[in-house]
Amino acid sequence: MNTTIHKQKDVIQNLLDLADVRLNGERPWDIRIKDDRAYARFLSGGSLGFGESYMDGWWDADELDTLVARVLKANLHTKVRNNPKLLIYLGRAIVTNAGSTKRAYDIGEKHYDIGNDLYERMLDRRMVYTCGYWKDAHNLDEAQEAKLDLVCRKIGLRQGDHVLDIGCGWGSFAKYAAEKYGAHVTGITVSKEQVELAKSRCAGLPVDIRLQDYRDVDGTFDHVISLGMFEHVGYKNYRTFMKVVKRVLKPEGLFLLHTIGGNKSDKITDPWIDKYIFPGSLLPSAKQIVTASEGLFILEDWHSFGADYDKTLMAWFKNIDAHWCEIQQTYDDRFYRMWKFYLLSCAGSFRCRCNQLWQLVLSPNGVKGGYTSVR
């Protein structure tokens, strides 16, 4: 090992000591270096270099989720200076509007359209791609069904109600609400692959699935829900989103917003997540959500259960890992390592409470007599 690499290793180890992580240690969360170039990439590339070097096989860890939880808990990401490339990225992200109408379908093409075969093997039997509700659940199927039922109960869903589902995915909520509650559901998504499969899964039910941006919705609905889509809206469009919901929601209706949340009001997302997983995404803060809805809605209920996302993500990884042999001819090893890094690093971020999961119930005019919280 030359002098430069030795110095880089010392700098990194001094940082990792704060998280009780060792380079080439023997514990499951320790980092095993396979290529010495990883040291320079850690220091120069921040989270982007950290994730990319993992994708390239330059380092490994038996418990990637535990490693990330320790690193985030120790705030190590704040102790490594961004390089010029990352500063340029920061400036570009603030100036551009990632959630604009012109770019509305990008996330569908780059993430949700990559292959239904992947998601069918990763998700539960209803194909719910949002956090499960594990309060009384013993497995992923139960947790996701409990979450769907929780949403229905929170909005007081009744037979014949017409619900707008913004970001309907593969039709999981639409199918459940129609079958179990006799509701009519209009689901919109920006993913062509989701539309095709959702229509097939909801065939014969009072469900209408559309390839449509939320800004183009018309009509009026008894209730509006959005499960795991608000993260793609972008801070410049939060107010617009709320105005659209207010416009299409009946005066006595309820709006349920289910979203991952951040602990502070950011204007950019993690560079690695933005480049490889969710382009243009951003986690809203509580302040940003409240500001966007101010004067439009009355906040009736706020439910936080972010710790459940740790369990959900770990279950997703267990599923995809167990069935990888079935699709490995379609997705190469670098994709597998990217997907593994995505699922397990996100699990770690929820475990250390850097990320949150919120369900809000909002009403246009306030529930007469008060809203009764549902858990």
Largest CA-CA distance found in the chain, in angstroms, rounded: 73
Q: Say whether 325 is catalytic.
A: no
Q: What's the CA dihedral at 239, 242, 243, 244 to 10 degrees?
A: 120
Q: What is the DSSP string of 52-79?
A: HHHHTTSEE-TTHHHHHHHHHHTTGGGS
Distance CA 90, CA 187 (A): 34
Cα dihedral: 199, 125, 311, 45 (round 10): -50
DSSP label of 169 = T
Residue 119 contacts residue 106 (beta carbons within 8 Å):
no
- Given 131, 152, 202, 346, the catalytic residue: 346
Q: 362 to each of 146, 238, 301, 365, how far by Cα in Å?
A: 21, 15, 7, 9
- Asked if 107 contacts 280 with a C-beta cutoff of 8 angstroms, the reply is yes
User: What are the structure tokens assigned to 164, written together?
Assistant: 């707008």
State the DSSP H helix or E strand holding residue 198, giving kind and residue range, or none if neither. helix 192-201
Say if residue 40 is exposed, middle or buried (CB neighbours under 10 Å; 0-12, 13-18, 19+).
middle
List active site positions: 346
